[in-house]
Amino acid sequence: MSAHDPDALDNRLLATGAERLALLGKHAETLMAGYVRDEVPLEGLSSAALNRLLSARILWRPDDQAGVKLAPKVRELIAEMLADETRRHVNADVAETLELMRGLVQSYREARDGAEYWRQEQQLLRLRQAVDDLDGRFADAIDSLWRRLNSDFGFVGRLADKIRENDRAQKQIVRLLDGLALIDFDELIELVGADGALRKLLVSQLQHRLSQHYTSLREVQRRLIELMARFRQQQSRSRLVTGMAAFLREHPGFVPGNYARRGEVPELVNRAAPLTAAGAVALDRAPDARVVTELLHELPRPAAPPQPVVAAAAAERHEDTLVAARQQALREDVERFYLSVVEGDGEPLSALEYLESGELDWGEEIWLYQVLAEFQGLPRREQAAFRLRQEESRAAAFNDLRLIHDVRLELREGA
The DSSP secondary-structure symbol of 302 reads: P
Q: What is the pLDDT of residue 62?
A: 65
Q: What is the pLDDT of residue 2?
A: 45
Q: Which residues does 41 contact at the CB level (< 8 Å), separation at least 6? A: 30, 33, 34
Going from N- to C-terminal start, the domains of the chain cover 13-84, 90-244, 325-411
Q: What is the pLDDT of residue 329?
A: 85
Question: Cα 293 to chain center, whole Å?
Answer: 66
pLDDT digits (tens, 9 = 90+) for 74-89: 777 777 677 655 555 5
**DSSP-based three-state secondary structure for 176:** helix
Query: How far is residue 106's CA from residue 123's CA, in Å, rounded to a whole number?
Result: 9
Q: For helices 364-377 and 309-343, give the axis angle rounded to 10 degrees.
A: 70
- Residue 361 has phi, psi (to 5 degrees) of -95, 65
**DSSP-based three-state secondary structure for 390:** strand
Q: Which residues does 326 contact at the CB level (< 8 Å), separation at least 6? A: none
382, amino acid identity: E
pLDDT digits (tens, 9 = 90+) for 200-235: 888 888 888 888 888 888 888 888 888 777 777 877
**In which residue ranges of the chain is pLDDT below 50?**
1-3, 91
Query: How far is residue 249's CA from residue 312's CA, in Å, rounded to a whole number?
Result: 73
Query: How far is residue 144's CA from residue 157's CA, in Å, rounded to a whole number?
Result: 21
pLDDT digits (tens, 9 = 90+) for 9-52: 567 778 887 887 887 787 788 878 777 776 777 787 788 888 88
pTM for this predicted structure: 0.43
pLDDT digits (tens, 9 = 90+) for 358-381: 888 888 888 888 888 888 888 888
